Copies of this chain bind each other. A is one copy, B any other.
Amino acid sequence: MYMRSLATFDASGKHLRSGIRATAPHGPAHALDRWLATLIQRTIDAAHVRLRLWDGFTAYERPSDPIGELIIHDRRTLIGLVVNPDVAFGEAYMDGGLDVRGSLERVLEALFRATLAGPPSLRERLATAAALPNTLAASRRNAHEHYDLGNNFYALWLDRDLVYTCAYFETPSMSLDQAQRAKLDLICRKLRLRAGETVIEAGCGWGALAIHMARGYGVRVKAFNISREQLTYARQWAARERLTSRVEFIEDDYRNVSGRFDVFVSVGMLEHVGRRHFQTLGETLRRTLRRDGGRGLLHFIGRDNPRPVSAWIRRRIFPGGYTPTLAEVTSLVLGPAGMSVFDVENLRLHYAQTLAHWADRFAAAAHEVRAAYGESFRRAWELYLAGSQASFATGWMQLFQIVFVPAESAPPSWTRRDRYEASTGAAA
């Protein structure tokens, strides 16, 4: 998951209104307002979501009750939703021009479902084609804006190990802490880590996977990250665990890695790489992974068909990101690198569940977040978490784990059976 710091928006000159507006009455809606509201109502009618204007007007006429309401507080928001709905929705939610009555997540889910079957719009296709290049310097900047928001902020609502990627709920009732440990361990078992092996981790976050691998499986890990604050945290953690001889946290771009390793693993980084750099990632794999007996795992947010990241997310959250299809990753990264796909698992419902946990915890921390970062920041995150949950719940977004091997290497296991027979031994 990625989130650019909203705290930088003002400095970057984008149009963030400085606070949440007073929701003073706006006067009655005019005939033109009502006509625009009717237009919008038609596009969301199939989702059973009701649009309501500041004076109470609604064009919703279905016999059944709506599952929720969008409340539009002013004309500017109304016009924005007609002209540029992708961006306007998020902007208006952030600054309070739009409110949602009912469950934010359920309303977004219904809106996603209603549009899921359609092909990408022309605007979406142009945006996909024009995805900006992601240079080393730019990705360093993006990562700083995003992850250096402050460890304390993430500690408010992530699990105890600060794992900011999709968890694995062996049973749906598992706690988030358990499910994140189970995810780390699932990855280790899929990779069949053996004591003494060498592992590269590209994009290591706060270090939970690197530490889990070294502690539970006795491997030696070189973990790369470009967020200094995360690395500081990870190094202190490794020191507390007395694992500094086996885990090295390196402040550098993964593309600069050198040497040959048994295992390559990357969890939640591919989305940051940008499609234009898939070839470089492939070259990195080819250069660093042992041809005989090597294996790797990529865990990333993906799509069924090529589509750009939402315009609002692109504008406000993460300019350099791209969520690729399985075909893009296998044909642009793995195939040219001489890698065979061994196993793919789609965990999208696990991500919806993860996001539900995050959203609950984030809501519980609303007071602290508001006090430290302001209400508009809090609302942006609230929307982002609910929208992401809805995306994964509806199948609008996917979460892929790919296990791959150099074509000359035997796959790491004969069947999947023993991965699932054993309980998650190292997950305790």
A interface, CB within 8 angstroms of B: 113, 116-117, 168-172, 304-305, 325-328, 330-331, 334-336, 338-346, 348-349, 394-396, 398, 400, 405, 407-411, 414-417, 419-421
Contacts and interface: CB of A to CB of B under 8 A. Distances in A.
Nearest to A118: B338
Given A305-B335, A343-B345, A395-B405, 12 more contacts: A169-B414, A304-B341, A305-B331, A325-B331, A327-B328, A341-B398, A343-B346, A349-B410, A349-B411, A395-B408, A415-B420, A420-B421
Given A326-B330, A335-B304, A421-B420, A414 B349 contact: yes
A416 B345 contact: yes
A117 to B, nearest CB: 6
Given A335-B325, A335-B327, A340-B304, A408 B394 contact: yes
Interface centre among A168, A172, A405, A420 (most CB of B within 10 A): A420
Given A325-B335, A416-B420, A421-B421, A346 B411 contact: yes
B411 A304 contact: no
Contacts of A343: 344-346
Contacts of A345: 343, 416
A304 B117 contact: no
A298 to B, nearest CB: 13
Contacts of A330: 325-327, 330
A410 B348 CA distance: 10
A357 B201 CA distance: 40
Contact of A346 (B113, B325, B340): B340
B346 A407 contact: no
Given A170-B417, A394-B408, A341 B344 contact: yes
Contacts of A411: 346, 348-349
Give the top 9 A-B pairs by smallest Cβ distance, nearest first.
Answer: A344-B344, A327-B331, A327-B327, A395-B407, A417-B420, A420-B420, A305-B335, A327-B330, A342-B346
Contact of A117 (B342, B408, B409, B421): B408
A306 to B, nearest CB: 8
Which of A339, A340, A405, A408 has the most chain B CB atoms inside 10 A of its CB?
A: A340
Contacts of A327: 326-328, 330-331, 335
Contacts of A339: 304
A427 to B, nearest CB: 14
23 contacts: A116-B407, A117-B408, A168-B415, A169-B415, A170-B415, A304-B339, A304-B341, A327-B328, A327-B335, A330-B330, A331-B331, A340-B348, A340-B395, A341-B346, A341-B400, A346-B411, A349-B411, A394-B408, A395-B408, A395-B409, A396-B407, A416-B416, A416-B420
Contacts of A416: 345, 416, 420
A328 B395 CA distance: 21
A166 to B, nearest CB: 13
A417 to B, nearest CB: 4
A132 to B, nearest CB: 23
**Of residues A116, A341, A400, which shows the largest number of chain B Cβ atoms within 10 Å of its Cβ?**
A341
A278 to B, nearest CB: 12
A110 to B, nearest CB: 12
A340 B410 contact: no
Contacts of A407: 116-117, 304, 395-396
A192 to B, nearest CB: 14
A400 B341 CA distance: 9
A116 B305 contact: no
Contacts of A395: 340, 405, 407-409
A302 to B, nearest CB: 9
B421 A338 contact: no
